[in-house]
Amino acid sequence: MAGRQGQGGGAGEKGGGLDFPRPLTTVDIVIFTIRQEALHVLLVRRGHAEGEPFPDAFALPGGFVDVARDADLAACARRKLVEKTGVVSPYLEQLGSWGSATRDPRGWSATHAYFALIPASAAEAALAADARWFALDATGVKPKLAFDHAEILQAAVQRLRSKVEYTSLPAFLMPEEFTLPELQRTYEIVLDRALEKSAFRTRMLSADLIEPIAKMRKGPNRPAQLYRLKAAAAPVYFARTFNAPE
Amino acid sequence: MAGRQGQGGGAGEKGGGLDFPRPLTTVDIVIFTIRQEALHVLLVRRGHAEGEPFPDAFALPGGFVDVARDADLAACARRKLVEKTGVVSPYLEQLGSWGSATRDPRGWSATHAYFALIPASAAEAALAADARWFALDATGVKPKLAFDHAEILQAAVQRLRSKVEYTSLPAFLMPEEFTLPELQRTYEIVLDRALEKSAFRTRMLSADLIEPIAKMRKGPNRPAQLYRLKAAAAPVYFARTFNAPE
DNA sequence: TGAATAGTGTCTTTCAGACAGTATTGG
DNA sequence: CCAATACTGTCTGAAAGACACTATTCA
């Protein structure tokens, strides 16, 4: 291997040929929720200490893997999620990794990106001081993001939209109890397109996903049956997408 | 952040608070092909030099990111692929990343896993001396793999099988020219189940994926129309899976 | 009673599954 | 002609799209 330069290995190294430079290793999380009838993503403002790249810019929550605290990548992601939102066990899925010589001015770096879905109710409860929700429109998010985070965010939105076509992912954006029209509204917000009511209901009710509870949602009109997620934490996969995309 | 220990940062560091231990960063590739009517994966035998973990065991091809040679993760994956197989531009997709304190006895390490599909014709041409093809059966591969590579391989097979249900991925396992029955056979090998001929043909022909060429495959029976992939390198996504999985 | 939303039924379309039937080669 | 495989057509069923219709609440 060419280009090895002097840089000590980690703790426990016994001189086994690991004396070459290591990339920086980070974990970043794209955290989605629904607020005010729109898809939102959580961003944090970066500090401006000496040597910090992208001072005061907004970025995805994340940071370096701490080899002393994080048993594995998912644990690192959960730690960062709980630090920023207080949410303990959301829907969390690995999104992919981005690594290059140039994405971080401090040197070769690779980030492991995750994406999380949390219900609106949890989205406000214990937010970190430096964190803020931003609405997503067609092109992304308003502030210019640090590093390659705009690209990562775009990939996350794409992954979310595409999986919503054939999975029950939006169920993880709902509160404990919700009605079928509310669930459909969540699908429509994420997909940014209207869905057929009756096909939607048939699909959701025939999937082994939700169960009715002995309660109704009251309003200024006909009350709606309330449902809750069945125990299964895994999303349901449907055999078809919602619409053949034109 | 707790637990920082002395370890110099990479080249170009200017003392910006990067003096904490970094995980090892590797890239591994799951390379699939079809040989003898079965799905095969490429494995390499590990060395047994001083300090090498899992001496003489089989492992996925891969290794450390070389910050001096690899511009980004995908370039690193392509480099390792061409080193082992001579194949320059196959279908290459990121699979995910695996990182933990314990997966490598040398210390905290994270690997970025890719999976590649190459045609059988390219599978023999320029194979590295330490590399061998292994057939995959229902449970995986015969030899016990180093690190967590059995888990990564299993994830790759799962991803491949699941995407084959609704994409044109198997087209990337075919040679330049192929017939529809040959393509169907490739689907059936990967899925390990028979598909309906007429539905298969309708789907493939109505997708903007392949085009007939002015040639037939001769045999001891009725000749078959030869096709080739259209220019588009990206896989086609179908709106439905092949079968509703029971 | 009317507005509003929840929920159902009915008809059509699309496409996979099953499978029969036709087409074209070599022996 | 026969065997073998390529390819097409026809019927059925499942589920989505469109949309009309009924149901239940509050004001």
Chain A residues 188 to 207 with C-beta below 7 Å from nucleic strand C: 197-198, 201
Residue pair B27/B77 in contact by the 8 Å Cβ criterion: yes
Nearest by CB to A16, which of B13, B14, B50? B50
Q: Which of residues 10-69 of B touch A (CB under 8 A)?
A: 10-18, 20-25, 49-52, 63-69
| Structure confidence at residue B233 (pLDDT) | 66
| Structure confidence at residue B1 (pLDDT) | 37
Q: What is the pLDDT of residues B68-79, one digit of tens each?
A: 999 999 999 999
Instruction: Show the domains of chain A with their CATH numbers.
Output: 24-163 (3.90.79.10), 165-229 (1.10.10.10)
Nearest CA-CA partner of B67 in B19, B122, B25: B25
In this prediction, residue A141 has a pLDDT band, given cuts at 50, 70 and 90, of: confident
Strand partners, A38: A35
Q: Is the pLDDT of residue A162 over 60?
A: yes
Q: Which residue has the tokens 């189940």?
A: B193
Q: What is the pLDDT of residues B138-174, one digit of tens each?
A: 788 889 999 999 999 999 999 999 999 989 999 999 9
Residues in chain B within 8 Å Cβ distance of A15: 51
Three-class SS state of A49: coil
Strand partners, B76: none
Q: Which residue has the tokens 């086994």?
A: A16
Q: Rounded distance, CA B187 to CA B166, Å?
A: 11
User: Parallel, antiparallel, or unpaired: how do β-strands B58-59 and A62-64 relate?
Assistant: unpaired
Q: What is the pLDDT of residues A55-96, one digit of tens each?
A: 999 999 999 999 999 999 999 999 999 999 998 878 999 999
pTM for the predicted model, two decimal places: 0.90
Strand partners, B229: B210
Nearest CA-CA partner of B69 in B58, B61, B80: B80
Chain B residues 138 to 197 with C-beta below 7 Å from nucleic strand C: 195-197
CB contact under 8 A, B21 and A67: yes
**Radius of gyration of the CA atoms of chain B, in A:** 21
Three-class SS state of B35: strand
**DSSP annotation of A133:** E
Question: Mean pLDDT, to the nearest integer, of B57-81?
Answer: 96
Nearest by CB to A22, which of B1, B25, B51? B25
Those residues whose C-beta lies under 8 Å from the C-beta of residue A144, and which sit 6 or more positions away, are A57, A58, A150
Q: Which of residues 71-110 of B touch A (CB under 8 A)?
A: 71-73, 94, 96-102, 106-108, 110
